[in-house]
Structure 1
Amino acid sequence: MTNTPEIAIVGGGPAGLMCARVLQGHGFDPVVYDADSAVDSRDPGGTLDLHADSGQIALEDAGLVDAFLALARPEGQAKTGRDQYGRVQKEFTPAEGDTAAPEIDRGQLRKMLYEHVRPGTVRWGHRLTSVVPLGSGRHRLEFANGATAEADLVVGADGAWSKVRPLVTDAVPGYLGVCFLDARYDDVDTRHPEIAAIVGDGHMVANDSAGRALILQRNSNGVVRGYLAFRAELDWHEKAGVDLSDREAVRSYLLGEFGGWVPEMRQFVAENDGDYVPRSFWALPAPLTWEHVPGVTLLGDAAHLMAPFGGHGANLALLDGAELAHALARSSSVDEAVPAYEEAMFERSGELAVAANAALVEFFSDAPGEPPDHEEEHRNYEARAAEYRRRRAEEAARG
């Protein structure tokens, strides 16, 4: 570019940090603004599988494959599907050398990316309150702490409830009809050996035909995270008279909700360490597109929030960040780069979002379908990664 644009990235999660890292590799000097007080100031959630055809490509672009592999857990790709009686319905054990979708804790990924951007790149404690158009694609960002900033490009990497998104679309997330309670089991191999054995090295998913499920994930440092999920209205706890801050009241309700499950499976409901954290599944309309607005674009959940089935959200977010950086590097202006990035991002994310949302609805229906073939998934990740690299090489050769 003739003139280096001022780039403000709103959101210091994986998408925003990846974008900043790759931009810096191209000679740009972005600033990342995040509401958190520090990179590790809150519970980041569970574990992620980074796919060969998306998240891992972004890591390659950022020069962070070795840093990722030092933290990743290839054995965490293992998956077991069970029913409410504990019977194994399907199992997948990754072959030796399988790195199609290794697991990494969300917090570890965020911290790793943060440690690989230049010092001072991230301005912590900056909660965005408004973005004001100034004309000619420039915008002023206003923060709750009284700070302001101006930029030629505002990148909304600020998640499901993005404050940047309304600049380009009036789409808002819709509730998918499933709530869940986040639980954890610490020092699991010593304190909860039966739970550790059932979960194994990776994931264990169990569901019934009444819209209830247990989704358990092995994390690092001897932790298992559990998601106790069920179809319900958002205010289910109010209608049931359950105080979500009362651990025993929540436990009593859940033991009733999962009353038809065998004790082996109900232990996940009753033996968690700490409180149950209420959450729910939301998604943006899919496929979502918008007419380009000068000086603004979106990454990750801000652009294509979807159900977590398939694990595509975080992977697409990382790839979005890298691809936006590349588009800016190879274009003569922001106005040329951003529409090209958005067109490719819409195509990349739309079909996957539709499929992920449909998969969640089916999984929690009265007639859940067959679990996915994980061996085939891994083959597909590798094949698509090879195709992605081939297309990139052809584009580079054409100049």
Structure 2
Amino acid sequence: MNTAPAPRIAIIGAGPGGLTCARILQRHGITATVYDRDAGPDARDQGGTLDLHADNGQIALREAGLLEEFFQLARPEGQEMRQMDPAGTIRSHHVPKEDERFKPEIDRGQLRRLLLDSLNPGTVHWGRTLKTLGGPAEGPRQLHFTDGSTLEADLVIGADGAWSEVRRALSPAVPRYTGVSFLEAWFHDVGTRHPDIAELVGGGSAAAADGDRGLFAQRNSGDHIRVYIIQRVPADWITAGGLAPGDTHGIRALLLERYRDWAPRLRRLIADNDGLYVDRPIFALPVPHTWEHNPTVTLLGDAAHLMPPLGVGVNLAMLDACELALAIAHHDTLDDAVRVYEKTMLPRSTEAAQLLDGAAEHLLSTERPDFADHGNH
């Protein structure tokens, strides 16, 4: 009979990866606590829609016991993709078959709520920002939070995204700017307020690019559309242009000048948005990103392998989470579990990252067939 105390597992970050890991661990009778800097589950907008693929993200949801609930929420029609030229002419058009379920769309907020509702009460501790991670490599680890609290853990899982604090315990790597930036624009009640844009985008996504500039519009649930204005610019292009991030009119005028040769119907995706623009410069970790094995700390998702947003990130994060949780459940020690997990995860993520290294430029390519096809097969 094993009388060893239950391991203390701390997951930093309540994104899809961290929550999936906690959920699968709980299904195997293993307790894990998630710490997140947000004040609560609804503290901020969770971002747009994403597609979960049958060969990674959906595998994780199956292990989490949530696949059927996911399909009840997901939008298979969101797999529709229209590729246009700057004149607004459709060059390619993928219409999903009625039973196509390879990569249906779901809003990030809906996915997070699905995962949160599946966890035991009290699993997630909100308003806890990790300041530093200390303690010896063999453990126990000391987690110091910005609120002054400290706790110990036998395993710390960094699921804390691009600017991971946990990563510092394993690697000096920091994300680098790719040279490509997104500017996000929102459209609400599109069926009523923006029917021309609703018709342009259709049930899924629509994209256009000319080699230097791009637009990517994506339907979300609730009659919303998000548009990503994609440019090859310095990371500080707004302030370098003498503008403030909240200067919607100034930014709009600058963008309309930059896209002046594009079709008027496409320029509406820039000019008719509701509210402010959101600046999202694209960063990626150096390739390859690996580290020496540590028995008490590991990473998953963007903390481990931040890549350009080409339909890979959340799927790999959830597959990481699934494989790590299963390794913990099926091995006698945390050290063995982390070794087994990293033996698979690091080569897989390196292969994907090498494929996507510099691929932020693909977002501007006139040859780009599908925003989310790169690096998934």
The alignment's TM-score, normalised by the length of structure 1, stands at 0.91
The answer to whether the Cα contact below 8 Å between 1:22 and 1:325 also exists between their aligned partners in 2 is: yes
Distance 2:294 2:327 in 1: 16
Task: Spell out, residue by residue over 1:360-397, the C-alpha distance to the aligned partner (whole angstroms, 9 max, x if none).
Answer: 224436xx4342598xx69x97xx8xxxxxxxxxxxxx
Cα deviation, residue 251, structure 1: 0.7
Distance 1:370 1:184 in 2: 23
The answer to whether the Cα contact below 8 Å between 2:175 and 2:286 also exists between their aligned partners in 1 is: yes
- In structure 2, the partner of 1:10 is 12
- In structure 1, the partner of 2:317 is 317
Cα deviation, residue 96, structure 1: 1.5
Aligned-partner residue type, residue 272 of structure 1: N
The alignment's TM-score, normalised by the length of structure 2, stands at 0.96
- In structure 2, the partner of 1:391 is none
- In structure 2, the partner of 1:125 is 127
Instruction: Give the direction of change, closer, same or farther, for the CA distance of 1:273–1:46 in structure 2 (3 Å limit).
Output: same
Cα deviation, residue 242, structure 1: 1.7
- In structure 1, the partner of 2:270 is 269
The answer to whether the Cα contact below 8 Å between 2:230 and 2:363 also exists between their aligned partners in 1 is: no
Cα deviation, residue 26, structure 1: 1.1
Q: State how many pairs are aligned.
A: 375
| Structure 1 segment 268-347 matched on structure 2, within 5 A | 268-309=269-310, 311-347=311-347
Distance 1:200 1:346 in 2: 38
SS at match of 1:322: helix
- In structure 2, the partner of 1:222 is 223
Cα deviation, residue 343, structure 1: 1.3
Cα deviation, residue 312, structure 1: 0.8
Cα deviation, residue 3, structure 1: 4.3
Aligned-partner residue type, residue 321 of structure 1: A
**RMSD over equivalenced CA pairs, Å:** 1.8
The answer to whether the Cα contact below 8 Å between 1:167 and 1:293 also exists between their aligned partners in 2 is: no
- In structure 1, the partner of 2:356 is 356
Task: Spell out, residue by residue over 1:207-235, the C-alpha distance to the aligned partner (whole angstroms, 9 max, x if none).
Answer: 112x2111111000000011111110012
Distance 2:7 2:171 in 1: 24
SS at match of 2:147: coil
Cα deviation, residue 89, structure 1: 1.3
Aligned-partner residue type, residue 177 of structure 2: Y
The answer to whether the Cα contact below 8 Å between 1:160 and 1:301 also exists between their aligned partners in 2 is: yes
- In structure 2, the partner of 1:156 is 158
SS at match of 1:218: strand
Instruction: Give the direction of change, closer, same or farther, for the CA distance of 1:355–1:135 in structure 2 (3 Å limit).
Output: closer
Distance 2:97 2:367 in 1: 26
- In structure 2, the partner of 1:200 is 202
Any stretches of 5+ residues in structure 2 without a counterpart? none
Cα deviation, residue 357, structure 1: 3.4
Task: Spell out, residue by residue over 1:332-375, the C-alpha distance to the aligned partner (whole angstroms, 9 max, x if none).
Answer: 1011110110110112222222223333224436xx4342598x
Instruction: Give the direction of change, closer, same or farther, for the CA distance of 1:11–1:373 in structure 2 (3 Å limit).
Output: closer
Cα deviation, residue 204, structure 1: 0.6
Cα deviation, residue 238, structure 1: 2.3
Aligned-partner residue type, residue 369 of structure 1: E
Any stretches of 5+ residues in structure 1 without a counterpart? 385-399
Query: Could you tell me the percent identity over the aligned residues?
Result: 49
The answer to whether the Cα contact below 8 Å between 2:137 and 2:294 also exists between their aligned partners in 1 is: no
The answer to whether the Cα contact below 8 Å between 2:141 and 2:296 also exists between their aligned partners in 1 is: yes
Aligned-partner residue type, residue 232 of structure 2: R
Aligned-partner residue type, residue 314 of structure 2: A
Distance 2:205 2:358 in 1: 21
Aligned-partner residue type, residue 52 of structure 2: L
Distance 1:239 1:39 in 2: 35
**Mean Cα deviation higher: 226-235 or 154-163:** 226-235
**Mean Cα deviation higher: 239-248 or 28-37:** 239-248
Distance 2:217 2:357 in 1: 20
Cα deviation, residue 270, structure 1: 0.6
Aligned-partner residue type, residue 47 of structure 1: T
